[in-house]
């Protein structure tokens, strides 16, 4: 796409988003339906222009048009087609444009689904969404354009960062961005409810699914990022409390708190102020996460750009937070609830405690992430805050959350009697105690690991007991056998039991993470044909081989793995050298079992002595992290599906909405 045409498209997207913001907000305040309708058309126009810009950048990448700075910086002739297509989110300009494109898609979807509903709130909702798009289109027009031309184009580009040339990393950023950007929708509905003076629980019920979807995508993105780090970086782990990891984790935490908290507002019409604060924080942290990733203010293995847009981005983050809180405080009287939490021992109270812990955990992560930057700005000394600090602060908080995962959903609303608590929690408590005793007998002495495994057993027992209780009740009421009763139970109340599956997934992730307390790290040097023993494994180095293509050179070691004298698998750890970037990477090889992973990293190969050095990790239970991630996605999707009752009442709600529109 010609550069001039690309710039024109970006400017048209910018102007359309400005007009959509103004006409929507003005039309909402003045009840001017013509302005509202005009703003809706501008929303569609902005979407079309941003889409054209995305297509233009992709065409430039596919054409190897190195006249463009973006193409020359992140692509090359030898780069595989798949990675050329994904290069659009590899650099700053492309990722900012991609962020705006996803936002425009969300905006058009909201406009389509509620075109005949929420006629009071929708102008404000669209105005807020478009105001966010104004910022991102302004950034790609004035600060970081993907259509910037080079004075002296090279014959070939520098190519994509080799660390990004991994299937998980190719799909990780867009999934993560769908999560980041998606939180703009519940944020817009929250402020729209404030600005339109319609603060009943309707907006909360509406945004539940619009919150669950980005929460799910952000969670999947975090898991994919962990999988990439595990397989690509070669340090034996999947989470290092890296600033960019934390940037994605923080809005996921506050989003989780918001999802739990709106349940209380739906049921009891309380915590209105708290919920509004949570969704403002969640969206602000989403923008802040993009700022950390793309501004260059921090150093991270996950951050691949450095630029001067940091001050602009940070100013926008502050503006979003200040303006949003100002709107909330201006309408504070409307947010006050007449009802109160009646008893400390109740589901409402446990969920609120849960929320406070989530926010406290988020603050701890935020403080550890930004403290080095603050220290450098104030004292001129950059203090490193690493995993030991994060673990010492956050592990006790995580254990408290794990405990509440088992307690909260089972406590009765309003007030739970002591007899009820004994009946519900007696068996799970026994399960946790027995687990602790058995593990101690088998030599598990690490306190946090012992507590984590015991609490995991407690929570799993509460989940299984709840499924079992519901299935038995349905068997009695409908004369069904056990498994059909369980299936029908899930079908009738997908939201509740899907939530239990999500909690089950969280427990599996906790079990997998707790296994890291027993990791082993062994450095090994072997001559060809020689072997060594690590635990139950015999490691045999059988030689190496090299290969190359137009893109890279590959050095591969062959390692035969034996257990009890039997050949199990041949592992192929590698080292790659990419020509365009002149950069080496490590490609690990992993033997996975449900009990543990054997993780092999190739360090060096000495061709003269026919020897190779390796770093080998034995990582217990790590596979349960990935299984838990899959289960989390399954449970969330089940919870998103409508129940039969919701499908039946939907036409009634639509008729009421149309009647309200006619009356207005």
Q: How do residues 438-447 score in pLDDT, each as one tens digit?
A: 999 998 889 9
Instruction: Determine the average pLDDT of the residues in 626-636.
Output: 95
Q: What is the share, in percent, of the chain residues with pLDDT greater than 90?
A: 55
In the beta sheet, which residues pair with residue 611? 527, 606
Q: List all residues 6 or more positions away from 559 whose beta carbon is below 8 Å from its beta carbon.
A: 539, 540, 541, 542, 570, 571, 572, 573, 589, 600, 614
Dihedral class, residue 227 (left if φ above 0, else alpha if ψ from -120 to 50, else beta)? alpha
Give the closest residue to 516 by CA, choosing from 364, 395, 361.
395
* Between 173 and 343, residue with greater pLDDT: 173
Buried b (16+ CB within 10 A) or exposed e, 14-40: bbbbbbbbbbbbbbbeeeeeebbebbb
- Work out whether strand 583-587 and strand 589-592 pair parallel, antiparallel, or are unpaired: unpaired
* pLDDT at residue 298 in the model: 61
* Dihedral (Cα; 148, 153, 154, 156), 10-degree rounding: 60
pLDDT for the residue numbered 641: 87
The strand ranges marked E within 357-448 are none
Q: If pLDDT is split at 50, 70 and 90, which confidence band does 6 have? A: confident
Say whether pLDDT at 220 is over 70: yes
pLDDT level of residue 188 (50, 70, 90 thresholds): very high
pTM for this predicted structure: 0.90
- Assess whether pLDDT exceeds 50 at residue 661: no
Q: Judge whether 383 and 372 are in contact, CB under 8 Å.
A: yes
Average pLDDT over residues 498-515: 94
pLDDT confidence of 664, banded at 50, 70, 90? very low
Model confidence band, residue 350 (pLDDT cutoffs 50, 70, 90): confident
Cβ count within 10 A of residue 561:
18
pLDDT in tens, 40-82: 999 999 999 999 999 999 999 999 999 999 999 999 888 888 8
Q: What pLDDT, on a 0 to 100 scale, did the predictor assign at position 645?
A: 55
Per-residue confidence at 171, pLDDT binned at 50, 70, 90?
confident
What local confidence, expressed as pLDDT, does residue 416 receive? Answer: 67
Q: Which long-range contacts (CB under 8 A, 24 or more apart) does 233-240 make?
A: 233/163, 233/301, 233/586, 234/586, 234/587, 234/588, 234/601, 234/615, 236/519, 236/521, 236/599, 236/601, 236/615, 236/617, 236/619, 237/516, 238/622, 238/625, 239/513, 240/387
Q: What's residue 597's pLDDT? A: 94
Give the residue from 621, 623, 552 showing the smallest Cα distance to 587.
552
Sign (positive or negative) of CA dihedral 178, 179, 184, 190: positive
Q: Long-range contact list for 8-12, CB < 8 A, 24+ apart?
A: 9/49, 9/52, 9/53, 9/56, 10/49, 10/53, 10/137, 10/140, 10/141, 10/145, 10/147, 11/141, 12/45, 12/49
Look at residue 380 in the predicted model and tell me its pLDDT. Answer: 67
DSSP state at residue 412: P
Residues 6+ apart with CB under 8 A from 611: 525, 526, 527, 528, 541, 605
DSSP 275-303: HHHHHHHHHHHHHHHHHHHHH-SS--TT-
Most confident segment among 115-124, 308-317, 464-473? 464-473
* The residue count for the chain: 664
What pLDDT score was predicted for residue 343? Answer: 67
In whole angstroms, give the CA distance from residue 345 to residue 421. Answer: 10
Residue 207 and residue 186 in contact, taking contact as beta carbons nearer than 8 Å: yes
| Mean of all residue pLDDT scores within the chain | 87
Instruction: Quote the pLDDT of residue 269.
Output: 77
Q: For the segment 403-436, what is each residue's pLDDT rounded down to a tens digit?
A: 998 887 777 666 767 787 788 889 999 999 999 9
3-state secondary structure of 534: strand
| pLDDT, mean of residues 527-537 | 92
Q: Using DSSP, state whether 585 is helix, strand or coil.
A: strand
pLDDT score for 662: 34
CA dist 392 → 202, 363, 387, 652 (Å): 41, 15, 8, 53
> Which of 186-200, 257-271, 530-544 shows the lowest mean pLDDT across its residues?
257-271
- Give, for 241, the enclosing helix (H) or strand (E): none
Query: What does the pLDDT read at residue 219?
Result: 95
pLDDT value of position 140: 93
* Alpha-carbon gap, residue 214 to 210, rounded angstroms: 7
Residue 643: per-residue pLDDT: 66
Percent residues over pLDDT 70 in the chain: 92
pLDDT at 334 exceeding the cut of 50: yes
The whole-angstrom separation of Cα 201 and Cα 214 is: 21
With residue 574 as reference, give the H or E element that holds it.
Answer: strand 574-578
The whole-number average pLDDT for the span 461-480 is: 88
Q: What is the pLDDT of residue 471?
A: 87
Q: Which two tokens stand for residue 408?
A: 């909260």
The per-residue pLDDT for 601 is 94
**Mean pLDDT, residues 201-221:** 91
- Among 51-60, 122-131, 393-402, 635-644, the range scoring the smallest mean pLDDT is 635-644
Higher pLDDT, 602 or 662: 602
User: pLDDT band at residue 655, thresholds of 50, 70 and 90?
Assistant: very low
Binning pLDDT at 50, 70 and 90, where does residue 377 land?
low
Residue 147's pLDDT is 92
Whether the predicted pLDDT of 283 surpasses 90:
yes
SS3 content of the chain, % helix, strand, coil (to 5): 65, 10, 20
Phi, psi of 327 (to 5 degrees): -60, -40
- Residue 654: the pLDDT is 43
- Considering only the C-alpha atoms of the chain, give the largest distance between any 2 of them, rounded to a whole number of Å: 88
Strand partners, 600: 589, 616
Question: Among the listed ranges 251-260, 316-325, 525-534, 641-650, which one has the minimum average pLDDT value?
Answer: 641-650
Task: Evaluate whether 450 touches 444 at the Cβ level (below 8 Å).
Answer: yes
Mean of the pLDDT values across residues 323-339? Answer: 84
Asked which of 50-64, 153-167, 623-637 is least confident by mean pLDDT, the reply is: 153-167
Does residue 174 surpass a pLDDT of 80?
yes
* Spatial CA neighbour of 397 closest among 427, 425, 363, 430: 363
Tokens of 414: 């309003």
| Span 301-311, average pLDDT | 58
pLDDT at residue 445 in the model: 87
**pLDDT confidence of 244, banded at 50, 70, 90?**
confident
How far apart CA 359 and CA 361 sit, in angstroms, is 5
646 pLDDT band, cuts 50/70/90, is low
205 has a pLDDT exceeding 60: yes
Q: What is the spatial distance between Cα 141 and Cα 500, in angstroms, rounded to a whole number?
A: 46
What's the CA angle centered on 641, arms 635 and 646, to 5 degrees?
Answer: 135
Three-class DSSP category at 614: strand
CA-closest candidate to residue 183, choices 92, 73, 106: 106
Quote the tokens at residue 45: 């126009």
Give the SS3 label for residue 442. coil
d(CA 562, CA 231): 22
Tokens of 494: 């997908």
What's the Rg (C-alpha) of the chain? 27
Query: Taking residues 454-477, what's their average pLDDT?
Result: 91
Q: Which residue has the higher pLDDT, 131 or 158?
A: 131
Strands across the sheet with 611-620, in order? Answer: 520-527, 611-620, 596-606, 589-592
Average pLDDT for 517-523 = 93
Flag whether pLDDT at 134 surpasses 90. Answer: yes
pLDDT at 297: 60
Chain centre distance of CA 492: 29
């Amino acid at each position: 796409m010609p550069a001039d045409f690309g710039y024109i498209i970006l400017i048209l997207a910018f102007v359309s988003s400005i007009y959509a913001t103004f006409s929507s907000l003005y039309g909402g305040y003045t009840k001017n339906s013509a302005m509202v309708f005009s703003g809706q058309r501008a929303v569609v126009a902005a979407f079309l222009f941003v889409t054209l810009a995305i297509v233009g950048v992709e065409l430039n990448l596919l054409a190897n048009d190195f006249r463009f700075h973006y193409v020359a910086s992140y692509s090359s002739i030898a780069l595989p087609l798949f990675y050329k297509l994904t290069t659009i989110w590899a650099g700053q300009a492309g990722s900012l444009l991609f962020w705006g494109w996803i936002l425009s898609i969300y905006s058009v979807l909201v406009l389509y689904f509620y075109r005949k509903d929420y006629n009071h709130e929708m102008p404000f909702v669209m105005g807020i969404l478009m105001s966010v798009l104004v910022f991102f289109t302004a950034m790609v027009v004035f600060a970081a354009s993907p259509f910037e031309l080079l004075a002296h184009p090279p014959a070939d580009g520098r190519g994509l960062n080799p660390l990004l040339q991994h299937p998980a990393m190719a799909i990780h950023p867009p999934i993560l961005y769908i999560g980041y950007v998606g939180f703009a929708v519940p944020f817009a509905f929250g402020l729209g409810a404030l600005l339109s003076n319609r603060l009943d629980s309707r907006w909360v019920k509406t945004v539940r699914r619009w919150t669950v979807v980005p929460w799910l995508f952000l969670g999947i993105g975090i898991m994919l990022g962990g999988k990439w780090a595990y397989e690509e970086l070669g340090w034996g782990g999947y989470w290092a409390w890296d600033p960019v990891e934390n940037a994605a984790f923080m809005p996921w935490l506050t989003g989780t708190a918001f999802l739990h908290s709106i349940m209380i507002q739906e049921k009891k019409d309380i915590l209105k102020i708290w919920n509004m604060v949570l969704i403002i924080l969640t969206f602000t942290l989403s923008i802040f996460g993009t700022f950390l990733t793309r501004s260059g203010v921090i150093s991270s293995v996950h951050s691949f750009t450095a630029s001067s847009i940091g001050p602009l981005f940070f100013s926008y983050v502050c503006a979003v937070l200040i303006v949003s809180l100002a709107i909330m405080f201006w309408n504070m009287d409307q947010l006050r609830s007449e009802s109160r939490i009646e008893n400390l021992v109740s589901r409402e109270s446990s969920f609120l405690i849960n929320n406070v812990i989530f926010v406290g955990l988020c603050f701890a992560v935020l403080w550890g992430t930004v403290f080095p930057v603050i220290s450098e700005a104030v004292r001129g000394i950059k203090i490193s805050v690493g995993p030991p600090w994060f673990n010492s602060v956050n592990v006790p908080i995580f254990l408290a959350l794990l405990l509440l995962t088992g307690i909260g959903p089972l406590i009765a609303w309003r007030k739970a009697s002591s007899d009820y608590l004994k009946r519900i929690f007696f068996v799970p408590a026994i399960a946790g105690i027995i687990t602790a005793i058995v593990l101690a007998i088998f030599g598990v002495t690490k306190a946090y690991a012992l507590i984590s495994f015991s609490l995991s057993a407690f929570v799993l027992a509460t989940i299984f007991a709840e499924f079992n209780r519901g299935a038995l009740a349905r068997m009695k009421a409908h004369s069904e056998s056990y498994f059909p009763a369980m299936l029908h139970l899930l079908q009738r109340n997908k939201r509740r039991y899907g939530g239990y599956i999500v909690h089950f997934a969280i427990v599996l992730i906790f079990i997998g993470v707790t296994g890291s307390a027993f990791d082993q790290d062994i450095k090994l040097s072997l001559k060809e044909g020689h072997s060594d023993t690590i635990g139950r494994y015999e490691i045999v180095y059988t030689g190496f081989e090299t290969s190359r293509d137009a893109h890279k050179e590959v050095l591969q070691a062959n390692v035969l793995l034996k257990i009890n004298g039997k050949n199990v698998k041949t592992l192929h750890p590698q080292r790659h050298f990419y020509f365009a970037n002149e950069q080496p990477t490590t490609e690990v090889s992993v033997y996975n079992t449900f009990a543990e992973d054997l993780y092999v990293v190739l360090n060096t190969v000495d061709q003269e002595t026919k020897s190779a050095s390796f770093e080998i990790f034995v990582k217990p239970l790590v596979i349960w992290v990935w299984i838990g991630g899959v289960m989390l996605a399954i449970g969330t999707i089940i919870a998103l599906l409508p129940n039969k009752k919701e499908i039946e009442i939907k036409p009634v709600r639509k008729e009421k909405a149309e009647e309200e529109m006619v009356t207005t």
